[in-house]
């Protein structure tokens, strides 16, 4: 049995007995009913994920998947493709946005080369799990084979398993890959059955042809490859990216071990849509961090059915939004553990 299949068989629903108890407790804490809003819902979800009325997430890891894209050669961005490898090396040096924000809550940043075009040197603090040296140009044919897509997912599962074995109690997902808003938007266009022009954004920088050219490249990729919207792995293989598959695998692996996953912005949300397309129960384990400024982000969150908790006008990627959300998650846990009920302090209401 494949690692993917074994993982899928382990994914269960939330513990509804625990969520019922958690909701009862939250509703009886010394505060007006519902006065802590989404923080209350988050606490109940975390209890249901962990089967624990006092969940704790002292050990945090953000897994950053890095990969390149063959569609880059279509001129969809003005950024040099070499930025992927340069910025990935900066993760290991602690220099990037997610590294700095992650320090606030002590999150460990785990950079993974799942598909960078060039070869990284060993022993520089990057986990080398390359499936291939970047995807193929999806405007000319499939981005990868189905086998490569499954392998990318399984790499994500393996990295998640490794981090949880090291003690991680909660994971975040992040990515690095020049041109990766193009496959992300292609996936969303397929699953929404809509023209890409209305959901295509600038990404990290537009090529000379602008939005129209980028959308036309996406249209061409969908037309040539005919991805099956009812088969998430087929969509991933034909118009997706290796880092998208890797992040989907992280989500699947975490869910199989009853560990919550904090989803970053647009591209991570697309990975979450792929993960839930493979196994819908994964949705119970996802916490959406922030509403990205990318035009397709709102539609992606609506399709996933998980509303982001933050609106910070961010679109950096890297897992930066996930890092920013960790303190809010800690607050939800502290509310559940440390705030007493009216009965516990002898208040009769």
Instruction: For residues 197 and 204, give the distance between their C-alpha atoms in angstroms, rounded to a whole number.
Output: 17
Look up 318 and say whether it is catalytic.
yes
- Taking alpha carbons only, the member of 158, 177, 120, 121 closest to residue 317 is 177
Cβ within 8 Å of residue 256, ≥6 positions away: 7, 8, 10, 11, 157
Q: Are 150 and 132 in contact (CB under 8 A)?
A: no
For residues 159, 294, 229 and 71, what is the CA-based torsion angle, rounded to 10 degrees?
-80
Radius of gyration of the chain (CA): 20
Q: Measuring CA to CA, how many Å separate 203 from each of 84, 195, 297, 349?
A: 14, 18, 11, 53
Q: Tokens for 190?
A: 């397929």
| From 136, 318, 330, 344, the catalytic residue | 318
Q: Are 142 and 238 in contact (CB under 8 A)?
A: yes
Kind plus residue range of the DSSP H or E element containing 60: strand 60-67
In the DSSP assignment, the letter for residue 78 is S
Q: Measuring CA to CA, how many Å separate 279 from each of 47, 96, 247?
A: 21, 32, 14
- Taking alpha carbons only, the member of 287, 271, 285 closest to residue 331 is 287
Burial of 330 (0-12, 13-18, 19+ CB in 10 A): middle
Instruction: For residues 246 and 275, give the distance between their C-alpha atoms in angstroms, rounded to a whole number.
Output: 10
Q: Which residues are catalytic?
A: 318
């Amino acid at each position: 049995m494949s690692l993917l299949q074994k993982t899928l068989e382990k994914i269960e629903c939330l513990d509804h007995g625990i969520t019922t108890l958690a909701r009862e407790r939250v509703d009886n804490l010394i505060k007006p009913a519902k006065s802590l809003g989404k923080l209350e819902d988050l606490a109940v979800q975390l209890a249901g994920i962990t089967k624990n009325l006092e969940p704790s997430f002292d050990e945090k890891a953000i897994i950053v998947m890095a990969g390149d894209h063959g569609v880059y050669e279509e001129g969809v961005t003005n950024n040099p493709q070499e930025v992927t490898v340069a910025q990935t090396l900066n993760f290991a040096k602690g220099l990037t946005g997610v590294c700095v924000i992650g320090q606030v809550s002590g999150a460990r940043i785990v950079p993974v080369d799942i598909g960078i075009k060039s070869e990284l040197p060993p022993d520089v603090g990057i986990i080398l799990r390359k499936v291939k040296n970047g995807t193929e140009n999806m405007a000319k044919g499939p981005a990868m084979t189905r086998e490569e897509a499954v392998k990318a997912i399984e790499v994500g599962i393996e990295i998640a398993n490794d981090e949880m074995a090291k003690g991680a109690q909660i994971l975040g997902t992040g990515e690095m890959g020049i041109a990766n808003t193009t496959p992300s938007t292609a996936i969303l266009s397929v699953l929404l059955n809509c023209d890409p022009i209305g959901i295509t954004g600038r990404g990290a920088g537009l090529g000379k042809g602008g939005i129209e050219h980028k959308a036309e490249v996406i249209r061409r990729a969908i037309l040539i490859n005919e991805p099956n919207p009812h088969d998430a792995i087929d969509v991933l293989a034909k118009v997706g990216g290796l880092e998208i598959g890797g992040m989907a695998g992280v989500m699947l692996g975490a869910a199989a071990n009853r560990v919550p996953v904090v989803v970053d912005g647009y591209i991570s949300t697309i990975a979450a849509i792929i993960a839930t397309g493979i196994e819908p129960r994964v949705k119970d384990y996802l916490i959406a961090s922030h509403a990205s400024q990318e035009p397709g982000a709102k539609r992606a969150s609506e399709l996933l059915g998980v509303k982001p908790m933050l609106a910070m006008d961010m679109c950096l990627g890297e897992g930066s939004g996930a890092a920013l959300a960790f303190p809010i998650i800690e607050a939800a846990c502290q509310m559940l553990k440390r705030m007493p009920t009216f009965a516990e302090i002898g208040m009769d209401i």
